[in-house]
A and B are shown apart, each in its own frame.
Chain A
């Protein structure tokens, strides 16, 4: 096994005294793609900024290539680059925006050719775009130029913070494709934070769940927010609409968040089948089936009322059950497998 490109030890970061990130240990191998999933405010952006060495962590240490590294450090300055969510460019032409990183690196040779290549990677016609000013671009174009400004550097690490959240569908697709090409062509390590779970699970070697600044797992999980209602029989549930209820054990407090492992659900062969004792059930419709590349597992998205649950389907069951999109299914689960955070 190669030595990790990132080793994060006991990392703590605070804003105004409040801890926003607390990661005990995280290793990232070179030339892999890692995903960061989690709701807004879970610490994804903070982690990426620390990994990009834009700011200094309050506690802990980040090792890059086995060496402790800090902002402006010579080890990392020209190796790591971050693309943020909002398209943001300097008040210069497209050409000069992309050329900036090359210039601070003192790489003057064939600037025009390299910028040409980078613009083509993000699907912008170099002839038409390189002379334009920053103010003459749409949001999607600006974000693609911003990505080109990173790609032209052929970075060892490319950190992407919700890179497609504020752009149109076409730009989004081009940004995804171009990012992946970086790994194919130069072995760039990618770390991607995104709300788009399907994309993450599709392309990433590993996906980390972040919640309230902590890592809560490294696979898929169902994260379910309240409000939790008390039933007449002393049990608790969440109303999902259409009269459906998700039965849960008593939550520790009103704002508790429920985590349910996708493997905790069992798809009944037929919705009419009876459920076992101590099992709860919920009815839904399959909206999507996907294969997780690195594990070979099959996952089904099941929409139940207002929410979508991720359900793990064992490979052996796939053929027998003949699952299809749009099919109604009944899920059975044991409420005690719900974990509270």
Chain B
């Protein structure tokens, strides 16, 4: 028994040592930590850009995909170096408060309102305000992200422009508290409507072999524009943040190579984003 126990102890020590070796020390030198929204990650855009960026700059890009609210909080706590988000009003406030610097518009996609082909509320082809009024009047199921994300904030703004009140307590208004694709799936299950960014919708349609149960019913309204920006974490507040790497990333994204790659990123033959850096 004693020798068995010794063996066990040795095995434990060995295991711990292996583990320490296996877990790399803090990081290699040039690593850029980014907080971004689920939409950029879910569409596969970042997976597509990452190798190009690393090849061009030698910087390893790491990201955590969370809601816009959490992404901004991570920046406030100096836990990331750079943000890629899409909630212009919140972003501007964020920069004004001194949490971020060098906000730079990179690209946009647009939001669309999708719903079942049968279109119970009859919103097809209407503008956003009329469409939402029709949904409210009909009491048709509408799935909302309900997670304080950029998309959610956009949706709330739309409701306010259509009648001024967010139908939060209505039984047909479903707050999922989940990501965009999960919310689309819930809307599909309930035979209801939802608002989504076009990129996520194309990705969704692609996974369903181009024949999804929910179709684009409202699009093209100017109010539906979805602007993405890069913001560096303020180096004065966060001395440990890698401001130089963040600047390199921002320049690359807004530069010729980044902009061309974004414009070329297609799914089902359709571009997901429109590059619009100035």
Contact = CB atoms under 8 A, between A and B. Distances in A.
Contacts of A92: 1
Contacts of B2: 103
A265 B194 CA distance: 108
A143 interface: no
Nearest to A103: B2
A96 B2 CA distance: 10
Interface string A81-96: 0000000000010001
Interface residues of A, number: 3
Interface string B1-45: 110000000000000000000000000000000000000000000
A92 B2 CA distance: 12
Interface residues of B, number: 2
B1 to A, nearest CB: 6
A245 B1 CA distance: 62
A325 to B, nearest CB: 53
Interface in A89-108: 92, 96, 103
Contacts of B1: 92, 96
A9 to B, nearest CB: 39
A92 B1 CA distance: 9
A96 B1 CA distance: 8
B44 to A, nearest CB: 56
Interface in B230-275: none
Nearest to B2: A103
Nearest to A104: B2
Nearest to A96: B1
Contacts of A96: 1
B6 to A, nearest CB: 12
A96 B4 CA distance: 12
Nearest to A99: B1
Interface string A117-131: 000000000000000
A91 to B, nearest CB: 10
B119 to A, nearest CB: 72
A180 B1 CA distance: 31
A59 to B, nearest CB: 38
B4 to A, nearest CB: 10
B8 to A, nearest CB: 15
A296 B1 CA distance: 51
B7 to A, nearest CB: 15
Nearest to A92: B1
A92 to B, nearest CB: 6
B143 to A, nearest CB: 58
A11 to B, nearest CB: 36
A103 B1 CA distance: 10
A337 B147 CA distance: 96
A109 to B, nearest CB: 16
Interface in A53-105: 92, 96, 103
Contacts of A103: 2
Interface string B48-72: 0000000000000000000000000
A103 B2 CA distance: 9
Nearest to A100: B1
Nearest to A90: B1
A90 to B, nearest CB: 9
A236 to B, nearest CB: 61
A14 B151 CA distance: 74
A211 to B, nearest CB: 43
B269 to A, nearest CB: 69
B74 to A, nearest CB: 52
A153 B242 CA distance: 70
B230 to A, nearest CB: 64
A92 B5 CA distance: 14
A269 to B, nearest CB: 67
B5 to A, nearest CB: 11
A92 B4 CA distance: 13
A180 to B, nearest CB: 32
A77 to B, nearest CB: 18
Nearest to A93: B1
Interface in A274-330: none
A96 B3 CA distance: 12
A271 to B, nearest CB: 66
A95 to B, nearest CB: 11
A66 B165 CA distance: 95
3 contacts: A92-B1, A96-B1, A103-B2
The 3 A-B residue pairs with the shortest CB-CB distance in the complex, in nearest-first order: A96-B1, A103-B2, A92-B1
